[in-house]
Structure 1
Amino acid sequence: MTAERAHLAVIGAGPAGLAAALAAAGRGVRVTLIDSAARAGGQFYRQPTAGLRARRPRALHHGWRTWERLSRALALQMEAGTITHLTDHHVWLVDRSGTAHLPTGTGGFVVHALRGRLQEEPGTVRADAVLLATGGYEKVLPFPGWTLPGVVTAGGAQAMLKGTLVVPGRRAVVAGTGPLLLPVATGLAAAGVEVAALVESADPRAFLRRAGALAAEPGKAAEGAGYAARLLRNRVPLRMRHAVVEAHGEERLDAVTVAALDADGHVRPGTERRIPCDTLAVGHGMLPHTDLADALGCRVEGVRVHVDEEQRTDVPGVWAAGETTGVGGAALSLAEGHIAGHSIAARLRGAEPDPRDRSAATRSRTRLRAFSAALDAVYAPPARWAERVTDDTVVCRCEEVTAGTVRAAVDELGAGDVRTVKLLSRAGMGWCQGRMCEPAVAGLAGCEQTPARRLLARPVPLGVLAAAGEPTDD
């Protein structure tokens, strides 16, 4: 099989997926780029809905020039017919068809998706190889009052602003931990929201302990300094080593209580302060999407997909890049996608990749992985967060399971892992299949969080499953 005839399915049109699709298409591979959104870009390059006719969308973005370059290249490849971009396609399964005959000896793949915004119409794509660039999702740890209307995830607040030009409220507190809080707070402030406080649980001394690793990426340091300057200009109070311990309100949020944390993560008595607000944007980092990789049988280490130096998984014909292999930001995702795209193009020809095609991206990947590892250590959630979750706090919103029920499953019924807690309490059995509550359930149960083996990556109508045995190409 020649590279001109080979067909690659890229799942996810964020930075990693775009970089891989462009690199592979540039080497003669026919690419189908599959994404659940209406426009390419992922969360990082999320664009306002076309009907809003935003005059200055670049004002909402960091790295706009990179996006313009990617967008132009994608348009040219689509015009040339080398890339087909399928929007509003929600992939729920990838299986091996065994019908292709690649030089590597692998079979082909069938990508199953639900098309359209209602996710009701089935569609399939056949491919010789697959790249998983499915990104990540937010980690949110519960606290009393977190289910009140007005409490949103930090990424959700950012998505509202970028995608719909809508702000979630008039007076906001941004809280939790992680580098995402900075662009969310500055973005809301620039949009006219009064940001009453940026509440970060990380200890400032943790930055000093890892100053060498952080300083190795001066561009990132300059980016952080830029966010800090904008916080000062907008007079946003920054409360380091603090956490939201409770959200207040009857019908909706009207205030939060924040408190200082000691070195062990305990609340320091007497430091509690109530801050009136109508919005709380909260997040505690990101977790990789591994559902499709799990279903394919790819090796998952901890919560991330394992890949080699070429971004190959241990399943022949399957590559992975971006947040699914470990959350590290857009620049790292672009480097990994570039490496994966060149590897795929070579392997589909039965050749070894030319190291010169990816040398710069490889060096960038090495530096950025070290940088992201340092950030992970700095922005670890506070150690004692579970102790502040009261028994009547809902943990699993889909099934309305409280923290007390989870604790009872462990203390009274002897559950020793997340799966057993799920069976005994129904935590994680709802619509989201535990994606939102699994970190919290694991923390409350004192268990290590491990990837849940889900056969399907999203809920699927029974009629679609019944017809899945006879796929037809999109």
Structure 2
Amino acid sequence: MATERPHLAVIGAGPAGLAASLAAAAHGVRVTLIDSAAGAGGQFYRRPPAGLGARHPEALHHGWRTWRRLGDALAARVEAGTIRHLADHHVWCVEPVERVEPVELVVHALLGPLQEEPVTVCADAVLLATGGYEKVLPFPGWTLPGVVTAGGAQAMLKGGLVVPGQRAVVAGTGPLLLPVATGLAAAGVEVAALVESADPKAFLRRPLALAAQPGKVAEGVRYGAQLLRHHVKLLPRHTVVAAHGEQRLDAVTVAALDTHGRVGPGTERRIACDTLAVGHGMLAHIDLAESLGCRIDGLNVAVDEEQRTDVPGVWAAGETTGIGGAALSLAEGHIAGRSAAARLTGTRPDPHTWARAARSRRRAREFFAALDTVYAPPAHWTEQVTDDTVVCRCEEVTAGAVRNAADELGAGDVRTVKLLTRAGMGWCQGRMCEPAVAGLTGCEQTPARRLLARPVPLGVLARAGDPEND
């Protein structure tokens, strides 16, 4: 079905998408906000549905006041008709149609949980705020029931008021581990250990970045106090080397890391648990940007000071331009929305408001650049991955097969490994296993250049090419 053509289509209703939509709408632009979730907010502002009757949903958030402000503003804009919110819409492609100047952009989405009903949104400009997803590196036993991603455990708690088990270990690296561990502990889970491969002392060598973000420092102190209150054992410079169990997880083995990122001999310890929440950072969702031909810088969408990509009519903001947390996403979204509104209406943004948002963006970027140097997976994590460890879960490809493709068959890049082993050919199209394949083979992880952002029924593809459906 075709919908009324808006001036700006914003894809993603997390912090960046919300800020962009509100900023653009406030400056005379009609906005269609498109998101795959049933409600706005993204992962950061995920909330339980009203039917669960949560009496204090704010207890699961440290940014609840910001969410209330954004949520109320969105509701007011939707009621006024200046923003149209399309929830449960899964965007699979954005294509430019060069009919007249300026270029028209067509957003293709699938509606509903079964993702079978096609929806088309035409816009003068598109803003990509598609967020990021977790990076999880394999280890023996990581496919056992009871092993979940750190973000998955948080989503269960925030969105469903359920916990994944009774006794948990939270492990990996990155700032996400702190709210996951404290959230599970506050919900009644016995968190046996928080296993962090980074060294917290490394933060002390970056005083300028810390001084520029006192709020983040205070937030970290609060998390530390909560860990102490719930008697969570912190194991810095440690890593999970194996998960154990027959039908499901019943224990994990952790070990200390030396200064080179290798497991120290004789430092292994076994911890009984029924849940392992593990994550090794985040990666940007860049599929739509890739299909549009936007320039990619490393594994992030490249943008200018106005959050514009190098494709006319396309802006990007939030985690898709680089992982940096909610505060950075809000700043980038506001800048992108103001920029898009100015370009579409031929006006100029207020310089004082623009400068304030740009200053917030710069400080947040500097802070997270410092975090990136601290939070990194162990340098030699591949040494703990046995040849029989499954790397690609979709196609059940083992680490041994991946290594053989490089060592014996001469594969020199991730794509060739994929062709030789089928690693990355499954449902997730390599989003989960690609970092592991790159690490095991020593190949550079490069953008995949996927034509479609998600699986699409053939019938939908056929109808998308029919002029009568444009």
TM-score, normalised relative to structure 2: 0.97
Q: Does 1:323 align with 2:316?
A: no
Question: Residues 123 and 472 of structure 1 are in contact (CA less than 8 Å); yes or no, is this contact kept in structure 2?
Answer: no
Partner of 1:94: 94
* Aligned mate of 2:448, from 423, 438, 452: 452
> Which residue, 186, 201, 207 being the options, matches 2:203?
207
Distance in structure 2 (CA, Å) of the matches to 1:347 and 1:53? 44
**Residue identity in the other structure for 2:25:** A
Corresponding residue number in structure 1 for 2:370: 374
How far apart in 1 are the matches of 2:209 and 2:300? 22
CA distance in 1, matches of 2:121, 2:106: 6
Greater Cα shift, 362-371 or 462-471: 462-471
Which residue number in structure 2 is paired with residue 222 of structure 1?
A: 218
Q: Which amino acid aligns with 1:55?
A: R
CA apart distance, 1:473: 8.5
Residue 450 of structure 1 and its aligned partner are, at CA, apart by 1.0
2:93 aligns to what SS in structure 1? strand
| Partner AA of 1:93 in structure 2 | C
- 1:416 is aligned to 2:412: yes
Aligned-pair RMSD on alpha carbons?
1.3
Q: 1:26-175 alignment to 2 at 5 Å?
A: 26-99=26-99, 101=101, 106-175=102-171
CA distance in 1, matches of 2:131, 2:298: 16
Question: What SS does structure 2 have at the residue aligned with 1:280?
Answer: strand
Q: Deviations over 1:166-206 (max 9, x none)?
A: 10000000000000000000000000000000000002332
Q: Distance in 2 between matches of 1:217 and 1:118?
A: 43
**Alpha-carbon distance in 2 for matches of 1:473, 1:337:** 32
Structure 1: gaps (5+ residues): none
- 2:14 is aligned with 1:14: yes
User: Is the deviation greater in 237-246 or in 353-362?
Assistant: 353-362
Taking structure 1 as reference, are residues 472 and 160 closer, same or farther at Cα in structure 2, changes over 3 Å only? farther
Contact 1:199 1:238 in 2 (8 A): yes
- Give the match for residue 359 of structure 1: 355
Q: Hey, what's the Cα distance between the residues in 2 that align with 1:114 and 1:6?
A: 18
Deviation at residue 128 of structure 1 after TM alignment? 0.5
Counterpart in 2 of 1:272?
268
The whole-number CA distance in structure 2 between the counterparts of 1:223 and 1:313 is 33
The answer on whether the counterparts of 2:32 and 2:83 sit within 8 Å (CA) in structure 1 is yes
Task: Name the SS of the counterpart of 2:180 in structure 1.
Answer: helix
Q: Deviations over 1:354-405 (max 9, x none)?
A: 4333211100000000000000110011100011100000000000000000
Amino acid of the structure 2 residue aligned with 1:402: T
- Residue segments in structure 2 that go unaligned for 5+ positions in a row: none
Mapped contact 2:6–2:32 kept (Cα < 8 A): no
- In the other structure, the counterpart of 1:347 is 343
Distance change >3 Å, CA 470–CA 31, structure 1 → 2: farther
Report the secondary structure of 2:107's partner residue.
Answer: strand
Note the C-alpha offset of 1:22: 0.1
After superposition, the Cα gap between the structure-2 partners of 1:30 and 1:447, relative to the gap in structure 1 and judged at 3 Å, is: same
Q: Secondary structure at the match of 2:216?
A: helix
345 and 236 in structure 1: CA distance in 2 versus 1, 3 angstrom threshold: same
Report the count of equivalent residues.
Answer: 466
Separation in 2, partners of 1:458, 1:17: 20
User: Given the superposition, is the C-alpha separation of residues 100 and 58 from structure 1 closer, same or farther in structure 2, using an over 3 Å criterion?
Assistant: farther
Q: CA deviation at 1:285?
A: 0.4
Q: Which amino acid aligns with 1:438?
A: E
Secondary structure of residue in 2 paired with 1:358: helix
Q: CA deviation at 1:270?
A: 1.2
d(CA) in 2 for partners of 1:142 and 1:214?
32
Q: In 2, Cα distance between the equivalents of 1:188 and 1:472?
A: 52
For 2:114 and 2:233, how far apart are their aligned partners in 1?
42
Q: Distance in 2 between matches of 1:445 and 1:349?
A: 50
1:387 aligns with 2:380: no
Shift, 1:353, TM fit: 3.8
Q: Distance in 2 between matches of 1:346 and 1:100?
A: 20
For each residue in 1:33-86, what CA deviation from the matched residue of structure 2 results, as whole angstroms up to 9, or x when unmatched? 000000000000001022212111101111100000001100110011000000
Match of 1:397 among 393, 412, 417: 393
Which of 167, 174, 179 matches 2:175?
Answer: 179
Aligned match of 1:406? 402
Give the deviation of 1:352 after TM superposition. Answer: 4.4
Question: 1-side partners of 2:158 and 2:253: how far apart?
Answer: 28
Normalization by structure 1: what TM-score? 0.97
Deviation at 1:6? 6.0
State how far apart, in whole Å, the 1-side matches of 2:424 and 2:71 are.
Answer: 38
- Structure 1 residues 100 and 74 mapped into 2: Cα distance closer, same or farther (>3 Å)? farther
The answer to whether the 8 Å contact 2:29/2:345 transfers is no
Distance in 1, Cα, partners of 2:16 & 2:164: 29
| d(CA) in 2 for partners of 1:372, 1:471 | 46
- 1:319-347 CA deviation, whole Å, 9 max, x = no partner? 00000000000000000000001100110
Alpha-carbon distance in 2 for matches of 1:82, 1:196: 49
1:298 partnered with 2:294: yes
CA contact (8 A) 2:402 2:441 kept: yes
Is the CA contact 1:124–1:472 (under 8 Å) kept in the aligned structure 2?
no
SS of 1:75's equivalent in the other structure is: helix
Find the residue that maps to 1:265 and give its secondary structure.
coil
